[in-house]
Amino acid sequence: MSGIVTAVLLSLLSAAGYALAAVAQSRLARATAPGRRGLRSLAARPLWWWAVGLNAAAALAHVGALHHGPLVLVQPLGALSLVAALPLAARHARRRVHRTEWRGALATLAGLGALVAVTGPTPPGESLSAAESLGVAAAAALLITALARGRGLGYATASGIASGVASALTQTVTAAVAAGGAAGSAWWVTALVAALVAAFAAGGLLLSQAAYRVGLAAPLAVVNLANPAAAAVIGVLLLGETFRMGAWGWLVAAGAAALAARGVVLLSRGTARAAVTPAGARPEGAREACSGDAGAPPLPPPVAAG
**pLDDT category, 118, cuts 50, 70, 90?**
confident
Tell me what the mean pLDDT of segment 151-159 comes to. Answer: 86
46 C-beta neighbours (distance < 10 Å), count: 7
Tell me what the mean pLDDT of segment 104-127 comes to. Answer: 75
Phi, psi of 119 (to 5 degrees): -80, 125
> How many Cα atoms within 13 Å fall on the side-chain side of residue 93?
25
Tell me what the mean pLDDT of segment 8-37 comes to. Answer: 82
**In this predicted structure, what is the pLDDT of residue 294?**
41
Q: How far apart are CA 94 and CA 279, in angstroms?
A: 7
pLDDT in tens, 255-290: 888 888 888 888 877 666 665 554 444 443 444 333
**In this predicted structure, what is the pLDDT of residue 36?**
63
**In this predicted structure, what is the pLDDT of residue 182?**
45
pTM of the model: 0.74
CB 29 within 8 A of CB 87: no
**pLDDT category, 124, cuts 50, 70, 90?**
low
**In this predicted structure, what is the pLDDT of residue 232?**
77
| 291 has a pLDDT exceeding 90 | no
| 81 has a pLDDT exceeding 60 | yes
Share of the chain above pLDDT 90, in %: 11
pLDDT in tens, 176-235: 777 665 444 567 788 888 899 999 999 999 898 888 888 888 888 888 888 878 887 887
**In this predicted structure, what is the pLDDT of residue 57?**
92
Instruction: Please give the full DSSP string across the chain, using - where no structure is assigned.
Output: -HHHHHHHHHHHHHHHHHHHHHHHHHHHHHHS-SSHHHHHHHHT-HHHHHHHHHHHHHHHHHHHHHHHS-HHHHHHHHTTHHHHHHHHHHHHTTSPPPHHHHHHHHHHHHHHHHHHHTBPPPPTT----HHHHHHHHHHHHHHHHHHTTS-THHHHHHHHHHHHHHHHHHHHHHHHHHTTS-TT--HHHHHHHHHHHHHHHHHHHHHHHHHGGG-SHHHHHHHHHHHHHHHHHHHHHHS---BTTTHHHHHHHHHHHHHHHHHHHHHHHHHHHHHHS-TTPPPHHHHHHTSTTTTSPPPPPPPPP-
Q: How far apart are CA 58 and CA 54, in angstroms?
A: 6
pLDDT in tens, 140-152: 999 999 998 877 7
| 306 has a pLDDT exceeding 80 | no
Which residues have C-beta within 8 Å of that of residue 305, sequence separation ≥ 6? none
**In this predicted structure, what is the pLDDT of residue 292?**
40
